[in-house]
Structure 1
Amino acid sequence: MTIENFFKAYAHGLATGDRTQYSELYTADCETCRTLDVNISLVRERGDRARGGEIKIWRSEMLSSAAPGRIAWLLEVELAPLHVGRADGSTFDDKGFQGRMQVEVAPNPNGGSRFAVSGIDTDPVDR
């Protein structure tokens, strides 16, 4: 698993409503990951259609993590704007995000890939 694959699986889930790939790539203690998984489920349940939301990683730097066995990455990212067309005809738009994000990975308890995302912070503290 790479962090890039994690974000691709999320974008795929939003576009298709299929959360299978995404749900295998994070640990149960990743609150942000669970929230994003709920977003995928809501798209599927409501019959919505989502476009955009892809993340590009421009720069990455490995950091030490306070948690044993985990690795943290400080990323410079760009999250593309997201457009959701709802089944009821209404729409939702998110302008996207450009900036720093910290992502922590841990051994994957779900099997499959070797690592899973265990935490995401879009407001990392300056080092």
Structure 2
Amino acid sequence: MDGVTVWWQQLGLVMAGGALGAALRFMVGDAMLRQFGNGFPWGTLTVNLVGAFAAGYVMIWLQSRGNAALYWRAFLIVGIIGGLTTFSSMMLESLLFTRTDRGLMLPLYLGVSLVGGMLLVWAGARAAEAWRW
């Protein structure tokens, strides 16, 4: 198969995965908003932390997939996880914190997001290494 065909196939997988990830992002955000209100961006925090774990796990899982890893990476990491996680939303919410009376929550939000994300991407990679099949 030529490189152009592979590229178009990967693009299709990224687009399909991105649509699924964005739909999941919307559903999680909506559920968290209904459950906890809008005092804190729980939906964004949740998808970023879940996405960090999933990215670590999938990265290790793909190491044993050979050439198929190109397609799985496009669909799972770039598509689904990329559509699910929302770093740009986290940055926008951080700006909104500074422009409202919730500015003191900003270090907590960023700290939990970044430290939690690092811990969970590590945990995802470790889990995949332990559960290799």
* Same fold at TM > 0.5: no
Answer 1 or 2: which has greater helix percent: 2
Higher strand fraction (1 or 2): 1
Question: Larger Rg: 1 or 2?
Answer: 2
Greater relative contact order (Cα < 8 A, sep 6+): 2
